[in-house]
């Protein structure tokens, strides 16, 4: 990731984009994984996975802009607009 993928970033991802992931630093006993995230998905319909990817792309772009880094060497991520989340 072009930013530190920590608990603060996870909170922003969940609150602002509706996407959960796990910071990879949890899986390193000493240090490491600060710029990596683990995605988990299982038993989801294809359209829900696409929606999650679009939301995640939006988060990565926003977080990269927030940290002042480019989101990817190839440029902006192409995606469709996110689908509104159902009320809780």
Q: What is the pLDDT along the chain (88 residues), one digit of tens a residue?
A: 999 999 999 999 999 999 999 999 999 989 999 999 998 878 889 999 999 999 999 999 999 998 887 544 444 444 445 555 555 5
Confidence at residue 41, expressed as pLDDT on a 0 to 100 scale: 78
Dist. CA 46–CA 34, nearest whole Å: 29
Confidence at residue 87, expressed as pLDDT on a 0 to 100 scale: 57
Dist. CA 51–CA 36, nearest whole Å: 21
Confidence at residue 84, expressed as pLDDT on a 0 to 100 scale: 57
| pTM, to two decimals | 0.70
**What angle (nearest 5°) sits at the alpha carbon of residue 85, between those of residues 81 and 86?**
145
């Amino acid at each position: 990731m072009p930013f530190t993928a920590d608990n603060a970033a996870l909170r922003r991802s969940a609150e602002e984009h509706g996407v959960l992931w796990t910071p990879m630093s949890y899986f390193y006993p000493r240090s490491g994984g600060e710029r990596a995230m683990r995605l988990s998905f299982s038993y989801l319909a294809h359209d829900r996975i696409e929606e999650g990817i679009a939301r995640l792309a939006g988060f990565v772009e926003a977080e990269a802009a927030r940290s002042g880094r480019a989101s990817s060497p190839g440029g902006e991520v192409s995606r469709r607009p996110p689908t509104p989340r159902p009320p809780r």
